[in-house]
């Protein structure tokens, strides 16, 4: 019986596993992940209000639902291990050796800068479920003293979290000032200028200080050190804590693939090892951004191509094009585009659409695939 191993059970890895389980029920499927639970990262901004457990699904439950075997282990992955795995067609785990016919590497991305220092936080704190406890801490602080919180990074991740927290602070009458710091001269550069203007107006309306072209240097116990990008002038401002969302990079490395998703290391094709999701860098003209939308499509394509190879057919190249992008700006607002990039979507309808996209993924994990028409 043919055997497929997936390393990394995020959006891409699960899209591959679920598609393979449906297409080829006789395959033996294995998932190796460093954690015990799948985290629906695209909901992390909601974890100041809700427990992070609401957005995690144990791999044991998914394994039972889709008929794969789960192994919890963090694997060391680099060019040499990938070449060795292709040669040996097996992976050594702590307590066993797992042979494979096809292997999928879908290990995601990691923060460009990890938060260092006592009052500096990042995605890992939200994934670990610290959001609600921190909100409580700031509530107490704000009752005793003036509270200012700094956010670094004007990309989609930082802004989603900033506006969600801003709404909660208001709803709960926590008197806090918020500040957005960004080295760029505009927010979310991959969205249109009109989306940027919408965001800047909202920042102004909500009383959030916006410091573009400014570099974050350091957070101390009570203050933040900043540097103006143009003049190089350094200055200090009051700040109780800093949230660092300065971008992500493919992890543990950028994995180059051909247009069908098969890994190519320094020009050598590894025909039985595919990659999908944020870690993969696909050749060709398909959507190659670090988004869940691309991760799911790459994961599904790789499953389709393994089924093709199993049936002695040729694999298909990846041509998926982005259908839109929406970022949430608190519980009743969102901004982005749908259909055409010039088509600005905003406000409550955009937010409802964004939530519908989250529900579509929940359905997928329940076994109902509505990502129709692809590949």
Residues engaged in binding ligand FAD (CB under 6 A): 7-13, 32-35, 41-42, 44-45, 74-75, 77, 106-108, 123, 157, 160, 252, 277-278, 290-293, 295
CA distance 192 to 327: 13
Contacts of 241 (CB under 8 A, 6+ apart): 119, 120, 121, 134, 138, 149, 150, 219
Contacts of 313 (CB under 8 A, 6+ apart): none
Q: What's the CA angle centered on 109, arms 190 and 18, to 5 degrees?
A: 100
CA distance 49 to 51: 7
**Cβ–Cβ < 8 Å for 90, 4:** no
Q: Which of 179, 155, 169, 184 is nearest to 242 (CA)?
A: 179
CB of 237 to ligand FAD, least distance (A): 25
CB of 375 to ligand FAD, least distance (A): 17
With 0-12 / 13-18 / 19 or more C-beta atoms within 10 angstroms meaning exposed / middle / buried, residue 93 is middle
* Residue (226 or 326) nearer to ligand FAD, CB: 326
* Residue (217 or 332) nearer to ligand FAD, CB: 332
**Cβ–Cβ < 8 Å for 120, 219:** yes
- Give 295's Cβ-side CA count (13 Å radius): 25
Contacts of 363 (CB under 8 A, 6+ apart): 369, 370
Facing residues of 282 across strands?
257
CB of 137 to ligand FAD, least distance (A): 21
* Beta strands across the sheet bearing 344-346: 324-328, 334-338, 344-346
> Which residue's C-beta sits nearest to ligand FAD?
10
* Residue (158 or 315) nearer to ligand FAD, CB: 158
* Residue (252 or 331) nearer to ligand FAD, CB: 252
CB of 56 to ligand FAD, least distance (A): 10
From residue 38, how far is each of 10, 32, 69, 125 by CA, in Å? 6, 12, 14, 16
CB of 250 to ligand FAD, least distance (A): 9
Burial 13-44, CB ≥16 within 10 A → b, else e:
bbbbbbbbbeebeebbbbbbbeeebbbbbbbb
CB of 173 to ligand FAD, least distance (A): 26
* Residue (19 or 142) nearer to ligand FAD, CB: 19
* Residue (15 or 169) nearer to ligand FAD, CB: 15
Q: Which of 308, 251, 287 is nearest to 105 (CA)?
A: 251
* Residue (132 or 223) nearer to ligand FAD, CB: 132
* Residue (142 or 335) nearer to ligand FAD, CB: 335
* Residue (48 or 226) nearer to ligand FAD, CB: 48
CB of 28 to ligand FAD, least distance (A): 19
CB of 62 to ligand FAD, least distance (A): 11
CB of 104 to ligand FAD, least distance (A): 10
């Amino acid at each position: 019986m043919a055997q497929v191993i997936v390393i990394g059970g995020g959006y891409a890895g699960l899209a591959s596993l679920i598609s393979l389980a449906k297409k080829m029920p006789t395959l033996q499927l294995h998932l190796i992940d460093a954690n015990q639970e799948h985290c629906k990262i695209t909901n992390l901004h909601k974890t100041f209000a809700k427990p992070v457990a609401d957005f995690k699904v144990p791999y044991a439950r998914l394994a039972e639902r889709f008929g794969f075997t789960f192994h919890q282990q963090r694997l060391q992955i680099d060019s040499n291990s990938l070449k060795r795995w292709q040669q040996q067609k097996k992976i050594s785990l702590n307590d066993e050796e797992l042979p494979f016919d096809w292997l999928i590497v879908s290990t995601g991305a990691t923060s460009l800068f990890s938060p260092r220092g006592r009052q500096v936080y990042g995605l890992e704190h939200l994934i670990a479920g610290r959001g609600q406890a921190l909100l409580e801490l700031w509530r107490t602080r704000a009752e005793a003293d003036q509270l200012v919180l700094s956010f670094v990074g004007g990309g989609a991740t930082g802004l989603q979290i900033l506006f969600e927290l801003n709404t909660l602070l208001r709803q709960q009458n926590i008197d806090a000032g918020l500040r957005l710091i960004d080295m760029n001269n505009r927010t979310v550069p991959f969205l249109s200028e009109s989306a940027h203007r919408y965001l800047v107006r909202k920042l102004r309306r909500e009383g959030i200080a916006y410091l573009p072209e400014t570099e974050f240097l350091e957070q101390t116990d009570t203050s933040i050190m900043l540097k103006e990008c143009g003049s190089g002038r350094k200055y200090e401002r009051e700040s109780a804590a800093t949230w660092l969302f300065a971008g992500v990079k493919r992890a543990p490395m950028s994995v180059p693939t051909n247009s069908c998703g098969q890994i190519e290391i320094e020009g050598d094709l590894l025909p039985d090892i595919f990659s999908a999701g944020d870690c993969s860098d696909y050749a060709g003209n398909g959507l190659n951004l670090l988004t869940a939308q691309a991760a799911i499509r790459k994961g599904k394509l790789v499953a389709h191509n393994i089924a093709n190879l199993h049936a002695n057919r040729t694999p298909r190249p990846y041509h998926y094009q982005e259908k839109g992008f929406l970022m949430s700006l608190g519980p009743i607002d969102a901004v982005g585009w749908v259909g055409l990039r010039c088509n600005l979507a905003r406000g409550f309808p955009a937010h409802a659409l964004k939530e519908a996209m989250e529900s579509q993924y929940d359905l997928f994990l329940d076994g109902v695939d509505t990502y129709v028409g692809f590949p």
